């Protein structure tokens, strides 16, 4: 099956550009955005009310190459919770990754793509009995645990499972750390291992997760050291552990300085053969998705409040209850680019606002100061602020489009329907690698 549904939605002009030359990824993205906006502006008002994503599957392939270059001995199991778009999952399946699933629904999604259950790691150390039954029936036999009660449940529901003991690890500087919720501390690892032995379960390795958006390679080094220690405990018990799972937490901005340190730590602690796997999410998904939202309303401050520092306000059709939860969860600072209408043949949606209504606002708006805005989501909640402050090089009007890069991680999967706003998003696909 071809992975390229892409240009269904795009205009013929792009198709011919695609056929005739190889555009750089940025250029292709811009063309796709421009073309889709032109298409939307022909549609009814309701059709164009939602933001849309452009996903570049070529970028996913480039991330995979970067992974193989940085961590060639480490087999990635993509963490589905990061972005479960089936087209992305299919692309990853074709690239040869495994999958880290935490729920029945995630396993179902991956299995429905024809992925062999042996490529799925059920990486949730606190699973329901029903989820274990599902996994067993589906043939997903690799899973994690970090507590005694889980072992008792595993004995009843999926006793032939291959088990990874998840140990505690933590990067304090990670965007979101998991150390408080999951992971057995070293002082109880021994009792967990001996309980697993007594229950005649099969411990095949150790896993950890230092936290999502990690930046400190020392957190990996410490966790790898701890894993080696627990490997020793398991071996002494009589198990034959052979898998080291170094979890997720990788991000572009730290990948190149992190990977040599991680590789060295693995080689130091595990000189003999172990299979090393990882559970990257953000690393694969983030940079492949671009979100395009539309300005649906604007509040201009009177000259008086403006002079006291109040910013003009933009309201767009997506916010922290939609695809921008990272603004709150990860304190991410968003910096959209304004879609340049001049380049396209499209007309502004709200013609009356094209020209400022009177001379006085014109002069206010023409000072550079007045291109500073705060940007808000569509809900009625006042925490729904996407950008606190941002300066554009020109005035932003109702109907304008804002382009947010790097929107593939923890966006589609965390969006809610709060306040009645639709959380299903249109995704258009391009592939900057296979043309
Ligand atoms: C969320 C999660 C991941 C993915 O983390 P990233 O920071 O996106 O790489 C991997 N493993 C587990 C167990 C997770 O909970």
> What pLDDT digit, counting tens, does each position of 391-402 carry?
999 999 999 999
Closest ligand 1 atom number to CA of residue 82: 8
> What pLDDT digit, counting tens, does each position of 323-368 carry?
999 999 999 999 999 998 665 444 444 443 444 444 444 444 445 5
pLDDT of 370 reads: 72
| Residue 293 belongs to some domain of the structure | yes
CA of 210 to the centre of ligand 1 (A): 9
- Among 23-27, 99-103, 131-135, 323-327, the least confident range: 23-27
pLDDT above 70 covers a percentage of the chain that reads: 87
pLDDT of 126 reads: 97
Same domain, 293 and 157: no
CA of 241 to the centre of ligand 1 (A): 22
Q: Answer whether 122 contacts ligand 1 (Cβ < 6 A).
A: no
Beta bridge partners of 314: 298, 375
Q: What mean pLDDT is predicted for residues 273-293?
A: 97
pLDDT at 63 over 50: yes
Q: Answer whether 81 contacts ligand 1 (Cβ < 6 A).
A: yes
Given 219, 248, 280, the domain boundary residue is 280
pLDDT at 280 over 90: yes
Length of the chain (residues): 435
CA of 208 to the centre of ligand 1 (A): 10
Whether 411 contacts 325, CB under 8 Å: yes
CA of 247 to the centre of ligand 1 (A): 6
Q: For a substitution probing ligand 1, which of 212, 251, 412 has the most ligand atoms within 8 Å of its CB?
A: 212
| Residue 67 belongs to some domain of the structure | no
| Residue 68 belongs to some domain of the structure | no
> What pLDDT digit, counting tens, does each position of 248-273 carry?
999 999 999 999 999 999 999 998 88
- Among 18-32, 114-128, 174-188, 421-435, the least confident range: 18-32
Q: Answer whether 76 contacts ligand 1 (Cβ < 6 A).
A: no
pLDDT of 11 reads: 46
Counting Cα atoms < 13 Å in the Cβ hemisphere of 204 gives: 15
CATH code for position 424: 2.40.37.10
pLDDT at 78 over 50: yes
Whether 409 contacts 282, CB under 8 Å: yes
Q: Answer whether 298 contacts ligand 1 (Cβ < 6 A).
A: no
Q: How many helices (H) and strands (E) does the chain have?
A: 14, 16
pLDDT at 59 over 50: yes
| Residue 79 belongs to some domain of the structure | no
Is residue 423 flagged as an active site residue?
Answer: no
Q: Name which residue sits closest to atom 3 of ligand 1, judged by CA.
A: 248
pLDDT at 303 over 60: yes
Counting Cβ atoms within 10 Å, is residue 419 exposed (0-12), middle (13-18) or buried (19+)? middle
| Residue 46 belongs to some domain of the structure | yes
Q: Answer whether 282 contacts ligand 1 (Cβ < 6 A).
A: yes
CA of 279 to the centre of ligand 1 (A): 6
CA distances from 322 to 328, 372, 374, 383 (A): 12, 24, 18, 13
Q: What mean pLDDT is predicted for residues 114-123?
A: 98
pLDDT at 113 over 60: yes
Same domain, 310 and 248: no
Same domain, 264 and 295: no
Report the chain's mean pLDDT, rounded to a whole number: 89
pLDDT above 90 covers a percentage of the chain that reads: 75
Number of domains in the chain: 2
Sign of CA dihedral 194, 196, 198, 202: negative
CA of 377 to the centre of ligand 1 (A): 27
Among residues 378, 350, 382, 371, the alpha carbon closest in space to that of 293 is found at: 378
Query: Of the listed 101, 380, 385, 423, which one is catalytic?
Result: 380
Q: Answer whether 217 contacts ligand 1 (Cβ < 6 A).
A: no
Q: What mean pLDDT is predicted for residues 70-75?
A: 97
Same domain, 327 and 377: yes
> What pLDDT digit, counting tens, does each position of 165-200 carry?
999 999 988 888 877 889 999 999 999 999 999 999
Q: Answer whether 82 contacts ligand 1 (Cβ < 6 A).
A: yes
Same domain, 253 and 290: no
Whether 339 contacts 401, CB under 8 Å: yes
Closest ligand 1 atom number to CA of residue 178: 15
Closest ligand 1 atom number to CA of residue 409: 8
Given 280, 309, 337, the domain boundary residue is 280
Same domain, 209 and 355: no
> What pLDDT digit, counting tens, does each position of 375-391 carry?
999 999 999 999 999 99
Given 249, 280, 311, the domain boundary residue is 280
Q: Answer whether 100 contacts ligand 1 (Cβ < 6 A).
A: yes
Higher-pLDDT residue of 214 and 75 is 75
Q: Answer whether 346 contacts ligand 1 (Cβ < 6 A).
A: no
Same domain, 95 and 44: no
Same domain, 117 and 209: yes
pLDDT of 177 reads: 80
Separation between Cα atoms, residue 174 and residue 399, nearest integer Å: 37
Beta bridge partners of 376: 315, 385
**Can you give the residue range of the structural domain that contains 110?**
84-280
| Residue 61 belongs to some domain of the structure | no
pLDDT of 345 reads: 45
pLDDT of 306 reads: 74
pLDDT of 354 reads: 40
């Amino acid at each position: 099956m071809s992975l390229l549904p892409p240009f269904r939605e795009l205009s013929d002009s792009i198709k011919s550009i695609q056929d005739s030359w190889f555009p750089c990824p940025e250029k292709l993205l811009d063309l796709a955005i421009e073309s889709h906006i032109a298409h939307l502006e022909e549609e009814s008002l309701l059709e164009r009310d939602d933001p849309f994503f452009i996903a570049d599957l070529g970028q996913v392939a480039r991330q995979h190459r970067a992974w193989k270059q940085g961590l060639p001995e480490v087999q990635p199991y993509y963490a589905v919770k990061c972005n479960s778009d089936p087209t992305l999952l299919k692309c990853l399946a074709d690239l040869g990754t495994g999958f880290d699933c935490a729920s029945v629904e995630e396993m179902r999604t991956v299995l429905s793509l024809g992925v062999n259950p042996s490529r799925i790691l059920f990486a949730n150390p606190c699973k329901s009995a029903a989820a274990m039954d599902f996994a067993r029936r589906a043939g997903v036999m690799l899973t994690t645990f970090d507590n005694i009660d889980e072992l008792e449940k595993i004995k009843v529901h999926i006793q032939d499972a291959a088990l990874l003991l998840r140990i505690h690890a933590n990067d304090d500087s990670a965007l979101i750390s998991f150390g408080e919720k999951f992971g057995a501390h070293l002082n109880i690892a021994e009792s967990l291992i001996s309980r697993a032995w007594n229950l005649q379960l099969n411990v095949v390795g150790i896993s950890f997760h230092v936290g999502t958006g990690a930046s400190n390679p020392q957190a990996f080094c410490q966790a790898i050291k701890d894993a080696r220690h627990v490997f020793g405990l398991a071996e002494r018990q009589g198990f034959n552990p052979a898998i080291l799972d170094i979890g997720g937490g990788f991000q572009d901005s730290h990948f190149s300085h992190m990977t040599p340190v991680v590789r060295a730590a693995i080689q130091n602690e595990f000189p003999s053969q172990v299979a090393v796997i990882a559970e990257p999410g953000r690393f694969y998904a983030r940079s492949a998705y671009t979100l395009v939202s539309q300005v649906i309303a604007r509040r201009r401050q009177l000259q008086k409040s403006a002079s006291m520092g109040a910013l003009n306000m933009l309201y767009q059709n997506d916010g922290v209850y939609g695809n921008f939860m990272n603004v709150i969860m990860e304190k991410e600072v968003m910096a959209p680019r304004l879609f340049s209408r001049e380049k396209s043949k499209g007309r502004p949606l709200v013609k009356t606002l094209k020209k400022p209504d009177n001379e006085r606002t014109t002069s206010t708006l023409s000072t550079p100061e007045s291109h500073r805005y705060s940007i808000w989501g569509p809900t009625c909640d006042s925490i729904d602020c996407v950008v606190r402050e941002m300066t554009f090089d020109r005035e932003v009007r109702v109907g304008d489009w804002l382009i947010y890069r790097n929107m593939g991680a923890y966006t589609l999967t965390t969006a809610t329907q709060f306040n009645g706003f639709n959380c299903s998003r249109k995704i258009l696909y391009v592939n900057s690698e296979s043309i």
